[in-house]
Structure 1
Amino acid sequence: MKIHFIAIGGSAMHNLALALNQKGYQITGSDDIIYEPSKSRLEKVGLCPPDFGWFPDKITTDIDAVILGMHAKPDNPELAKAKELGLKIYSYPEFIFEQSKYKTRVVIGGSHGKTTITSMILHVLHYHDREVDYMVGAQLEGFDTMVKLTEENDFIVLEGDEYLSSPIDRRPKFHLYQPNIALLSGIAWDHINVFPTFENYVEQFKIFVDSIVEGGSITYNEEDAEVVNVVEASENQIRKIPYNTPEFTVADGVTYLETPEGEMPIEVFGRHNLNNLAGAKWICQHMGVDEDDFFEAISSFKGASKRLDKLAENGNSVIYKDFAHAPSKVGATLTAVREQYPTRKVIACLELHTYSSLNATFLKEYRNTLDNADVAVVFFSPEAVKIKQLEEVSAAQIEEAFNRKDLIVFTNPEEFQTYLFNLNLNNTALLLMSSGNYGGLNFEKVKELI
């Protein structure tokens, strides 16, 4: 098959391109800009466009399918040419479903935890040499790509993102997968640029649960009231299997999981990660991995990429970087660090970087999320607020939103970096939370703080 990617450089899109290339498909693509590491990874296999931009002449009648990425605009000239020629146009999730419609589809959904749970499942299966197809939103240790598609594998494990499918398909991605086996980890309002009310956001998860094929199953976090409401209200003829956080203890900075064979030390920590682990265990059991084999494998799981990534550590200090940006993720990640290091000073630095987090109305969702920090710092760029065409946000508004009078707020990247590099980190856990880079922070230099 000959496949053309419009916006091939995206994190998900370039991984799909690599997977299809590995499968033997003929791949072409375009993009107006491609960042690292996508650029190098595409160049390595000869898939990086020689010139950046949109070229309608690339769209020809011998193309079997066009895959349209979210980065493209609805008026993209290549898209217009594909429509004119009557070519088959897929969104990313539509094409994933097309490739997996004869497989058992395992879909992990939720506002938070889905990348970690999917990563845990794939780690366990990989540990026991069980081959499956997959699509996950983070680069995993031991895996070459974030997407794998074959003809022969019976299962495909999919991270079920609730964001939009494409510029011309406004359905959430996870509505298109029709899972046989599904998991729902949590519901906390996000993506307010697309889902302007909490009710509208929750509705997407109701549709997800109802999209599970008849006779399938939903494994769900019974500690999340909204999840319970959504699952129990569904009239879909499926099995409903609840899970909750297993028993664990923390001693000397190590988390021990209670198992039928006794306490077992694990690499990940935090109540939310232990909750994720419980959900992953159920899914692995549905896929034929028994409990003992799951525990044996999960003990070596070090965490998903960008999730509580340990940058540096010495005898009494540690620095973590985490992708957390939504309120529920910020609160859970900070609580995990506090529980893991109860006797250390915890300094939490959060960058407000996304559209939702910089929205003056949405800011109140962050109330008390930084309470577990001894020192709480928030960085945001007024320039980013302007670029996103949002109302101006003041430092006073930020302080009020977090409900913390001693909150330290920075809007200048140089001032934030001066503050950071002059910290005394003796007996401290420093947590840097952001989906951005604090206006150009050198994280290699951060490692040298301890």
Structure 2
Amino acid sequence: MPSADEDHPPPGSPAAPPADGDWAAPAADGPVDARVVLPGSKSLTNRYLVLAAHAGEVSRLRAPLRSRDTHLMAGALRALGTGVDDVDDGDWLVTPGPLRGDTDVDCGLAGNVMRFVPPLAGLADGPVRFDGDPHARRRPMAPVLGALRALGVGVDDDDRGGLPFTVHGAGSVRGGTVTIDASASSQFVSGLLLSAARFEEGVTVHHDGKAVPSLPHIEMTVETLRDAGVVVDDAEPHTWRVEPSEVNALDVQVEPDLSNAAQFLAAALVTGGRVHVPGWPQYTTQGGDFVREVVDMMGADVVLDRSGLTVTAGGGILGVDVDLHDSSELTPVVAALAALADGPSVIRGVAHIRGHETDRLRALHTELDRLGCGVDETEDGLRITPRPLRAGRFHTYADHRMVMAAAVLGLAVPGVVVEDVGTVAKTMPEFTALWDRMLRERVGAQA
């Protein structure tokens, strides 16, 4: 069976299937009963790419995610002299080479690129210039840039603490011990760890500040480093130590992107149906795995077995009080589900998503309110009171997760028009095709 801020990006013209512009989110005409095959994890794909650039031999990434963010990462590595080549069935072969400077890196809107590649660029043999989309210039970078300076890397950002900036590679990085405040993004820690094995003294990163968000993403980084033979000590809370060492080549199968499952699992609840996702890992460091607990709390029956994950709707959608601090990428879809629930919901622990692709709390408040939902922003999240929703235009703020939230709302609210649907290509270029296929298929009825 096939698998199933206020400044808005300027809308384009409709297309079918849409690549950009407006998209009329389809309303469900009955319960879904679908099998949805997910593309690979963006977080794992990009970590593997950076590690492979440091390796001593050629690496193979099997079934990596092909999306704007991963193509930007591959492009950044190519600019620095690493070969990233297409091979059979969509795999990538990564051939490390001497890291060259006097080059430019396009970060787009990819947090992974703007935070993972600058430490790598410190090992290049000349200046590496970084810039990205207009929205990317608002994303915080000061902790990474300050840490690089403390570790002996020259950085010129005209005191902006963000893009554009230049890393002055000198062919080597001294490394050592550094203290940063990573309370705005776990990527600040991961970016330093991923290149630390090639620093002369390795690196010890201490976090000093409020709780680090999305800790599973740092656990993912530590695990991928260990997979490549790198010695990492994370026994002390808020401290990570990477020893200087060689990096082994990788031959890895990229797990499905569990964060990108959220909207499909939500569709089971909204339509009163069932969605099966094959290949769901029994063990994973992906923070998106928490979606299983969230949909369970909201009334679904959730079964994980050897065949994958199956989510079946219960008798409605329950309101929820949930802390998404470690899985904050789920917030937009959970907020959409909460807007359709039988009672009020509170989402906590996600103040840091104000600094993601957009201020996600502000964006969700604005757009859910526009459709008629009761929404209040709290210090660290949202309080959502369901009310009858109406058709309308849903702005996406160049944020792929906003597209996914709008699609969930559109299942139950005919007439939701999604602006700039093409921004979903950041992590899931095939999203609208998968969504349409899910709504067409009736797996159980055809069994």
Q: Which has the higher contact order (CA 8 A, sep 6+)?
A: 2
Q: TM-score, normalised by structure 2?
A: 0.28
TM-score (norm 1): 0.28
